[in-house]
């Protein structure tokens, strides 16, 4: 992402891609780190130049998640789930994430950096991540050509980015709702800083923000936070 930012500021065009075999300071959403082992994963950033109003950015993140999931499914012959807003799951564990950073002005993004990290051929994950993270290889027992995975994922990202631009937010929120097991009727905990809210997901608002019916019966828009499943009471 740092190199992509440098290239964007130097005038790199829409669709320019920066690919890494490994990252020494991989980062994820909410300030988290992303472990980027050499030779096993797919790590890349894409520069987007479309001027997108800030209220539409949540739906763009959903579109990119749909594209990444479609690419993994096509390349690895697996079925992915999506957890709002940017986690791609295999068998309920995270195998890929998307980070969108905007350089904005006048209420619009001048350029966007889209960072994608995919666990492809990792044979193991750190013990502290066993319950929440996985890879395509762990789930299927197969190793994959990383260039082939990248090719399929970029095709998926291009398709859903095009859908976002041509068909609008409603098309993306509809597709995400159909794909994700987390958008409707799912008991979850939402952690945002030191605040944790429990409730049941109640769909997406027109901009792509997750709606949560809290245990107190109030519908809360979730603008940011980490969503995790919890057992029903």
> Rounded to two decimals, what is the model's pTM?
0.90
Nearest Cα to 22, choosing from 2, 1, 45, 39? 39
Structure token digits, residue 93: 């564990």
Residue 106's pLDDT is 58
pLDDT in tens, 31-52: 455 566 889 999 999 999 887 8
Closest-CA residue to 203 (of 224, 226, 186, 225) = 186
In order of 85, 113, 138, 208, 220, the CA distances from 214 in angstroms are 18, 33, 35, 18, 7
| CA distance readout (Å), 172 to 58, 98, 142, 189 | 10, 16, 31, 24
Residue 144 φ then ψ, to 5°: -130, 150
Residue closest to 88 by CA, chosen among 102, 67, 74, 115: 67
pLDDT value of position 107: 56
Query: What residues in the chain have per-residue pLDDT under 70?
Result: 25-36, 104-109, 232-233
- Which domains does the chain carry? 2-179 (3.30.930.10), 184-229 (2.30.30.100)
Give me the pLDDT at residue 52, please: 82
Confidence at residue 168, expressed as pLDDT on a 0 to 100 scale: 94
Give the whole-angstrom CA distance, residue 223 versus residue 56: 13
Round to whole Å and give the CA distance between 85 and 119: 18
**Widest distance between CA atoms in the chain:** 53
């Amino acid at each position: 992402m740092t190199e992509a930012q440098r290239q964007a500021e130097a005038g790199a065009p829409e669709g320019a891609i920066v690919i890494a075999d490994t990252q020494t300071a991989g980062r994820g959403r909410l300030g988290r780190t992303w472990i980027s082992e050499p030779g096993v994963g797919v790590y890349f950033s894409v520069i987007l130049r479309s001027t997108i109003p800030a209220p539409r950015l949540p739906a763009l993140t959903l579109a990119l998640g749909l594209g990444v999931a479609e690419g993994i499914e096509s390349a690895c012959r697996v079925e992915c789930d999506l957890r709002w807003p940017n986690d791609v799951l295999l068998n309920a564990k995270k195998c890929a994430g998307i980070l969108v950073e905007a350089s904005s002005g006048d209420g619009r993004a001048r350029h966007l950096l889209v960072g994608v990290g995919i666990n492809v051929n990792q044979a193991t994950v750190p013990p502290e991540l066993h319950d929440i993270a996985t890879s395509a290889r762990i789930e299927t027992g197969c190793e994959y050509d990383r260039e082939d995975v990248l090719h399929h994922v970029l095709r998926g990202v291009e398709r859903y980015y095009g859908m976002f631009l041509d068909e609008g937010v409603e098309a993306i929120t509809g597709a995400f709702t159909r794909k994700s097991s987390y958008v409707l009727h799912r008991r979850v905990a939402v952690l945002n800083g030191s605040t944790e809210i429990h409730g049941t997901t109640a769909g997406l608002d027109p901009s792509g923000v997750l709606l949560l019916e809290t245990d107190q019966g109030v519908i809360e828009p979730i603008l940011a936070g980490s969503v995790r499943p919890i057992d029903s009471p």
